[in-house]
Amino acid sequence: MRFKLFESGKLADRWGFEEIEARKEKPEKPQDDDKPIRSFNVQWMMDVLSRKKINGRIKATDAFLDHVTWGDMDGAIRVRLTPNIEVMIERRTTDLEGAKTWVLKRFFKPKLEEYAGKEEEVSKEVFEEVEGLYKEAIDSASENYGNLLSLSKRMADRIRTHAPLIYDYQDTKEVNKDYYVIYFSIRNAGVGKLVSRSQRGSLSPEVTIDVNFNREKGLIRVIISTVSYGAEGQGWEVDVPLLDSFYAPSQNKDEIIDTVLAAIRYY
């Protein structure tokens, strides 16, 4: 994508879930020229996105400040924002239990500072991804997936090669044939509850990536968690996951790995 995505820092304020579905057909763009520093207007980006039509005819069926959805059947596409303004593009499928499930297709983050005032341009490029995905075959659940080990090893290798240097690969362990865990320690961690090796002896905080094939659902689930120290003497604590998403066995391995790598990079 032309706006070259990257982690630009944490957003101080979380937003509410104000509905934007009932806005005017062509609302006026909010003005902030009187402010000394212009900030990226998330509401305007989502406003613009909600008015776009796939192939010029398919309107958004659900639009809020934190997500926009096109369609209400398998193959529907949803753009969803995280509290840190990361953009997730998901597509709907049906799992083996008959439940409607969103599988993750794209994960990225726009340059919030550089593209302040260019929210329409960002919306346009996000929508290009939406239209491209809409043309693809719908991903489906499966009773079997024999490539989980291969996926886990490839994921570990890609992250070792392309993730920031703070991540130090430790090991990939097999829990069973449907469950693998990839371990990374964090060098010089000083964010939140994480502490560095020098602060707590020989132990260091970790990032764990759980890669699991859920046979009941027929889908792959990936959870990225940070494991950090609690108060003195209270041992380890598992923090809020950086990513917890489902994928279809029919998805390309690199498509899955790209989203995982992006979540790691933007931490």
- 198 contacts: CB under 8 Å, gap ≥ 6: none
Residues of the chain with CATH 3.30.380: 148-265
Is residue 54 within 8 Å of 131, Cβ to Cβ? yes
Q: Residue 60 in contact with residue 68, Cβ under 8 Å?
A: yes
85 Cβ contact partners less than 8 Å away, ≥ 6 residues apart: 11, 40, 42, 109, 110, 112
- pLDDT at residue 102, rounded to an integer: 98
pLDDT band for position 5 (cuts 50, 70, 90): very low
- Which one, of 80, 79, 85, 81, lies nearest residue 132 by Cα? 79
Residue 255 in this model has a pLDDT that exceeds 70: yes
Amino acid found at 177: K
Region of poorest pLDDT, from 24-28, 108-112, 153-157, 187-191: 24-28
pLDDT band at 21 (very low <50, low <70, confident <90, very high): very low
**For residues 25-39, average pLDDT:** 57
Q: How far apart are CA 113 and CA 124, in angstroms?
A: 18
Average pLDDT across the chain, whole number: 82
pLDDT average, residue stretch 152-178: 94
Band the pLDDT of 31: cuts 50, 70, 90. Answer: low
Cross-strand partners of 146: none
**How long, in residues, is the chain?**
267
In the chain, which ranges are continuous DSSP H helix? 42-50, 119-134, 148-162, 253-265
The band of 115, judged by pLDDT with boundaries at 50, 70 and 90, is confident
Q: If we measure between CA atoms, which residue out of 36, 35, 45, 38 comes closest to residue 15?
A: 45
Per-residue pLDDT band for 200 (boundaries 50, 70, 90) equals very low
Q: How far apart are CA 47 and CA 20, in angstroms?
A: 7
pLDDT for the residue 226: 86
Integer CA distances (angstroms), 81 to 23, 68, 87, in order: 19, 9, 5
Give me the pLDDT at residue 10, please.
31
What is residue 255's three-state secondary structure? helix
Q: Are 261 and 253 in contact (CB under 8 A)?
A: no
- Smallest Cα–Cα separation from 206: which of 233, 183, 222? 183
Q: Average pLDDT, stretch 216-245? A: 79
The pLDDT of residue 223 is 97
The pLDDT value given to residue 256: 98
pLDDT tier for residue 13 given thresholds of 50, 70 and 90: very low
Rounded (5°) CA angle 160-161-167? 40
Whether 37 shows a pLDDT value over 60: the answer reads no
CATH of segment(s) 148-265: 3.30.380
Confidence at residue 234, expressed as pLDDT on a 0 to 100 scale: 56
pLDDT for position 251:
97
d(CA 89, CA 68): 10
**Sorting pLDDT into bands at 50, 70 and 90, what band is 138?**
very high
Cβ proximity of 256 and 151 under 8 Å: yes
| Residues 54-82: tens digit of each pLDDT | 999 999 999 998 999 999 999 999 999 98
Point out the least confidently predicted range of 7-11, 216-220, 255-259. 7-11
Q: Predicted confidence band at 232 (pLDDT cuts at 50, 70, 90)?
A: low
The answer to whether residue 33 scores a pLDDT higher than 60 is no
Name which of 223, 220, 215, 213 is nearest 247 in CA terms. 220
Q: Report CA 198 to chain centroid distance, whole Å.
A: 32
> Which stretch of DSSP H or E encloses residue 18?
none
